[in-house]
Structure 1
Amino acid sequence: MKFDETTLQPAETSEESTRQRVARSLLVDGPQTAATLAKRLDLTPAAVRRHLDALAEEEAVEQREPRTASTRGRGRPAKLFALTDQGRDGFEKKYDDLAVEALRFLSEVAGEDGVREFAERRAAFIKEGLDRIAAGGETDLSPAQVLANVFTANGYAASVRELPLINGHDAGEQLCQQHCPVAHVAQEFPELCEAETEAIAKLLGTHVQRLATIAHGDGVCTTHIPPGSSGSGEVSKKKEQVTT
């Protein structure tokens, strides 16, 4: 099952089939139970399970145990369904193998420093996207929301999750990337993920923590952004430039 890389629509037709809608929801919204999918897509639970079974036969979807037991009353907690690597392949760019070979060659001729420099240059898209948003005058967004817009524009299907208060104190936000266009490459070259995290920290002017990555087998790339993180970083400077 192949999808357009920019719109996440099916490659052969602009009208999503129900099965493709199920797969797309797992990509954009992350691992979910069948009941959650049914509610989100306005389908019957039986219809969702039928499509999940078909996707599982294609090895595009797998079942996972929930990380924390949910309170569903009696019985076992509902299983989560998530896209497999093969399922993500339908959304991935077609040149992963070429990119891996190129980075292997770069590593051979320039060493780890060469790979890291490449990763840092690639991560420059974050600052470039920030500059475009700042130029557009969008000053009401939180730093995490600004970054989510930048990552989404570059194919990461990013969103922001506000964390609940801890003992009455702000716990910050999580930047969640449901899709990673370089996940397969980053499995062998984690420098790509590290450079993105370092760029985020520099732009926000504070330490951020990468909690999970798709490249390491997690369902979502998650980065914790502490409260008050606009600080002295580039995000704060860009806001000041727009408002003055």
Structure 2
Amino acid sequence: MKTNRFLMLLKTRGALTSAAISKELGITSEGARLQLLKLTEEGLIQSTHESKGVGRPTQYFSLTELGNKGFPDTHAELTVKLIQQIKETLGEDALQTVISAGEQKAKQRYSQQLQQSTTLEERIQQLVNIRTVEGYMAEYIKDEKGYLLIENHCPICAAAQICQGFCTSELNTFKFVLGEEVNITRVNHIIAGDRRCAYRIQN
């Protein structure tokens, strides 16, 4: 399935109304309606209705499980099998050793790419660039609370679902490369059922 801009928008922004989608994509309401109908029939998106006070419920569109599968999950089946084989053959400690080794390599690789970044925001921007290249569809928002690092996709989701050590390793890596003086808290987690992973970053 080729990912189109409707699916990309819903992946990065979450559930949206038809009006919001047409505005974001710069197309007519009718054009948006027809494309949304087509994607719904293909099983790639779904709609829900939400009541907000008096009046008709508002219809929101979001990705289905099939729609999410259009975004790459890095060698998912093979990765899951390898993890299960390591657990069964060598045990949990061996799996943790593998994850820890990967974490150390990631810390080294990220640190090298962030070494020219002097401010926290510059480091976050560079981290976003790295993670986007790796398939995480990353972005960040600066607000009155600090920064929010957002990852709209997880290319290792299948692996993380059976071993959350990968998620812990990821958070450890972020803390290391952004600075020990920086407070980082995960506020959204795909594994917990959220549509994205997000991290609150504060000095």
What pairs up with 1:76-87 in 2 under 5 angstroms?
A: 78-87=58-67
Partner of 1:241: none
Q: Which residue of 1 aligns with 2:193?
A: 217
Judging by fraction of residues, say which structure has more helix.
2
TM alignment of 1:1-244, pairs within 5 A: 1-2=1-2, 20-63=4-47, 74-75=54-55, 78-93=58-73, 95-123=75-103, 124-125=105-106, 127-134=108-115, 137-139=116-118, 142=121, 143-163=123-143, 165=144, 171-203=145-177, 204-205=179-180, 206-226=182-202, 228=203
SS in 2 for 1:75: coil
The CA deviation at 1:154 is: 0.9
Q: 1:30 to 1:158 in 2, by over 3 A?
A: farther
Judging by fraction of residues, say which structure has more strand.
2
What is the number of equivalent residue pairs in this alignment? 199
Q: How far is the alpha carbon of 1:39 from its aligned partner?
A: 1.2
The answer on whether the counterparts of 1:59 and 1:87 sit within 8 Å (CA) in structure 2 is yes
Shift of 1:157: 0.8
**Inter-CA distance 33–113: structure 2 relative to 1 (3 Å threshold):** farther
Alignment RMSD (CA, Å): 2.6
Pairwise CA distance, 1:96:
0.7
Structure 1 residue 34: Cα displacement = 2.2
> Structure 2 stretches of 5 or more lacking a match?
none
State the TM-score, normalizing by the size of structure 2.
0.83
Q: Distance in 1 between matches of 2:56 and 2:100?
A: 45
Counting aligned pairs with the same residue, the percent is 28
CA contact 2:74–2:155 (8 Å) conserved in 1 = no
